[in-house]
Amino acid sequence: MKAVKAGEYAFILCVIIAILAGLVVGAGLVGTSGAWVALILVILGVVVGLTTVTEKEITPFLIAVIALVVAGAGNIFSVGLAGVAGLDVLGRIIDSILSHVAIFVAPAAIILSLKAIYALASKR
């Protein structure tokens, strides 16, 4: 039970860090969020992957990860809003937030994918 709570707190913390880092980087206040932010997001993503998602929730989680990665791929929002006065910064912020979220969900997705493969392989 304590591990699940730790995973929930890690998830909330990841979302907060991703949003804050996305805002700062997307608005152009700094060039990148730095390796430390990425490392923290990866570690917290591992915690989430190991503790929070149950076997029943693996498939919906992985589908959501795919949707997030596709939405963040190619800086769609930056490109789409580039010509609109005042909204180009919003596009960069959205893309940056999605990139930071992807950094944190990637390790969780890898762990959960391996769990799903193991469960499929061991059912024989």
- Tell which wins on pLDDT, 92 or 63: 63
For 27-75, the pLDDT digits (tens) are 777 777 778 888 999 999 999 889 888 888 999 999 999 988 888 777 7
pTM: 0.82
Cβ(53)–Cβ(114) under 8 Å?
Answer: no
CA atoms of 112 and 110, how far apart (whole Å) = 6
Residue 1, pLDDT score: 58
Q: Could you count the other beta carbons within 10 Å of the beta carbon of residue 70? A: 11
